[in-house]
Chain A
Amino acid sequence: MLHFANTAYDTAHLLDTGVLILSFALLFQRRLFGVIRTYAYQALILAAAAAWQAHAQQAPHLYITAAIALVFKAGIVPFVLQRIVTAFNIHRSIETALGIGATLVAGMALVALAILLVLPVTTSSGALTRESLAIALSTVLLGLLMMISRRNAVSQVVGFMSLENGLILAAVGVKGMPLVVEISVAFSVMVAFIIFGIFFFHIRERFDTLDIHQVERYRGERER
């Protein structure tokens, strides 16, 4: 539908799609380590996508966003999460609220929805912008789906972080958007606080066994 061929466009498209495919990969992981590793790969591709946009748009500040994705999201966060899972002996397999097959079908429906939503309304914008926006929205929706369909707290956090990857993808894809760096820093601070605060301090003090399943017992089932 779009006859448009140059390296800037093709590369950006390839990287965006890579992020989206890894979102699907997150949906069918059954092991916690698999989820964390897949998330790290996604962050890696996000870093590449941001760096490519920095190059293509000649916007050097986006290199900072790329660096944050590379160091923090693809490096530190997965490392810390793995440490938490091993040290606290969290159950390694994932309970799903929805079957894997059904989740994937729902995921495809969400991608279709995102495309149908974004493409018709953005006819005035450039081809690259609108397509990467559609892919970014798909990634956001898949992240939401992952948060809904997983019961385990660690995989919910990973779902949130992959949703955030989609948002950063959208922000770097829109031409010349200001404050992208500030926004990605704000998100990273939030993620860091949540991981360190909620997981480490609260749970360690409260429960001697350090098993997140004990927290989950209180969640949702205690409607008053």
Chain B
Amino acid sequence: MTAFEYILGIPVAAALALALVPSYRVAAWLNAFASAATLGAALSPFVERPATGVFFLIDDFNIYLIALTAFVAFTTSLFSLRYILHEVAIGRLPKRYVRFYHSMYQGFVFTMLLALSTNNLGVMWVAVEGATLTTVLMVGLYRTPEAIEASWKYFILCGVGIALALFGTILMYLAAEPVMGEGLKAMTWSELLPRVSAFSPAILNLAFVFLLVGYGTKVGLAPLHAWLPDAHAEGPTPISAVLSGLLLNVALYAVLRFKMLLAGNPGALAPGPLMIGMGLTSLFLASFMLYRRRDIKRLFAYSSIEHMGISTFAFGMGGPLANFAGLLHMTMHSLTKSAIFFAVGHASQVKGTQKIAEIRGLTASQPALGWALVIGVVAIAGMPPFGVFMSEFLVVTSTFARAPLLAAPLVLGLLVGFAALMLRLQGLAFGKAEGTGKASGAALVPLYLHLAAVLVAGIYLPGPLVAWFQNVARLLG
């Protein structure tokens, strides 16, 4: 068996096994072990890289994202362990749903890894659809009216989104078919890329618009973002962490793959301006929306929209430097945002609420947790010396160098978002502690691990990693 068969096989086997394990304690541990095994398999392509075949596409871009996905899925499963036990203990989550939750968690990880590793446009679509399906069910897990509403909204909007993406995929096949001939070849990434210059540019353009709108809905780009805050706020917090940290990246990955196709055809439209427009709109809208949030998970969900906007903007600018910045930003956002959701999950369990106004003085009542949240928020707001600052700095400088006019709204949007988060942080972390001060018993290791990685990346990026990102940036064109 090759590495990729393990990467995909372990989550499938775990999903099936977890559906059968009756004890929720055993299931939670098994979930963590399976995620660890998947991470191990996901790291193996760095040692011995398999060749691209009919089924799997292998290049620098996706094996790095596969490793990132497996890593965050693993740390989230560690966080989820304590989180779920606590939710069951306080009776918020009935025991019989826990089996379903764990099985779906592994199913979700499988669909994301499949979307990243497949060499086929159609399979990628099926995988993203599967990811939507598993998360719709998990967002509605608590069965409160709000949770049902959130998962309904998520299903309707993302259902329409992936439907449009399928239409785009069909158009892409239509563009490829006269050149490549009928059959699987005309839907295989590695076969399409070298010959894309011969495709009809008009069909490619039309296809890309559908694909950008379709997969863009899942990235959470404005004005198609409406599902995102609800889905993040109402589902279990580990799911918020993987939605923000991973699913948005996977959807952006799909958009970027299609962008690479378009870049190979001289007659096709430049995807840059469309992506820049959507990225800036998302950044602005989300930054201003940050001010009026009263729910802590909703606050950070809007922050995710903001950061996906920044990444999309960077990839829209294109070129080696901006692409590098975009990749770095994607990575840093994933690590930081999932860490923040870990902290937020524990904080709302300790305080028994998600309302920002009722969570006060965390640093006084829960120093270990409170300070970690402070560090996370400071990092995501873009303060030095963290990695997010570095990637945002690169985005801004590369924009200044090439299109100074675009840099002004970018910087303005960043500052507005920064101020909003700092304002909220004041109340959350400092001031007089309210509510119970009991120990959270939280598993803080994954949280610290992520924050440490973000800090190190902000101070010193190892040479091989830089070279790796530069390679991918060149690949993206």
Contact = CB atoms under 8 A, between A and B. Distances in A.
A140 to B, nearest CB: 6
B148 A224 contact: no
Interface in A120-168: 120-125, 129, 133, 136-137, 140, 144, 147, 153, 156, 160, 163-164, 167
Contacts of A163: 160, 163
Interface stretch (A8-16, A36-44, A80-88, A195-203): A195-203
A179 B55 CA distance: 13
B167 interface: yes
Interface residues of B, number: 49
A145 to B, nearest CB: 11
Contact of B148 (A121, A140, A215): A215
Contacts of B140: 197-198, 202
A164 B203 CA distance: 21
B152 interface: yes
Contacts of A171: 166, 170
A124 B200 contact: yes
B134 to A, nearest CB: 9
A153 B126 CA distance: 25
B298 A178 contact: no
A175 B133 contact: no
Given A121-B203, A193-B133, A205 B156 contact: no
Contact of A215 (B126, B152, B294): B152
A202 to B, nearest CB: 5
A156 B122 CA distance: 26
Contact of A174 (B170, B205, B294): B170
A100 interface: no
Interface in A171-212: 171, 174-179, 182-183, 186-187, 189-190, 193-194, 197-198, 202-203, 205-206
Q: Among the interface residues A133, A179, A182, which one has the most CB atoms of the partner chain B within 10 A?
A: A179
A198 B143 CA distance: 10
A170 interface: yes
Interface stretch (B178-186, B332-340, B416-424, B453-461): B178-186
A175 B182 contact: yes
Contacts of A197: 137, 140
A3 interface: no
Given A124-B178, A179-B187, A186-B130, A202 B143 contact: yes
Interface in B181-217: 182-184, 186-187, 200, 202-203, 205-206
B155 interface: yes
A122 B203 CA distance: 6
B145 A215 contact: yes
B304 to A, nearest CB: 17
Interface residues of A, number: 49
B146 interface: yes
Contacts of B294: 224
A4 interface: no
A140 B202 contact: no
B178 A125 contact: yes
B120 A189 contact: no
Contact of A160 (B137, B159, B167): B159
B155 A198 contact: yes
A156 B156 contact: yes
Contacts of A153: 152
B174 A167 contact: no
Contact of A183 (B126, B182, B184, B206): B126
A224 B293 CA distance: 7
Interface string B260-293: 0000000000000000000000000000000001
A224 B178 contact: no
B155 A121 contact: no
Interface in B406-460: none
B95 interface: no
A176 to B, nearest CB: 3
Contact of A218 (B125, B146, B178): B146
Most buried by A among B132, B133, B166, B183: B166
A187 B166 CA distance: 11
Nearest to B295: A224
Contacts of A187: 129
Contact of B129 (A160, A175, A186, A219): A186
Interface of B: 120, 122-123, 125-126, 129-130, 132-133, 136-137, 140, 143-146, 148-149, 151-153, 155-156, 159-160, 163-164, 166-167, 170-171, 173-174, 177-178, 182-184, 186-187, 200, 202-203, 205-206, 293-295, 298
Given A215-B149, A215-B152, 15 more contacts: A140-B167, A147-B160, A163-B163, A175-B182, A176-B177, A177-B187, A179-B126, A182-B126, A183-B126, A187-B129, A190-B159, A198-B151, A202-B140, A206-B144, A224-B298
The 5 closest A-B pairs by CB, nearest first: A176-B182, A179-B122, A121-B202, A218-B145, A186-B126
Interface of A: 117-118, 120-125, 129, 133, 136-137, 140, 144, 147, 153, 156, 160, 163-164, 167, 170-171, 174-179, 182-183, 186-187, 189-190, 193-194, 197-198, 202-203, 205-206, 214-215, 218-219, 222, 224
5 contacts: A133-B174, A174-B170, A186-B126, A218-B145, A219-B152
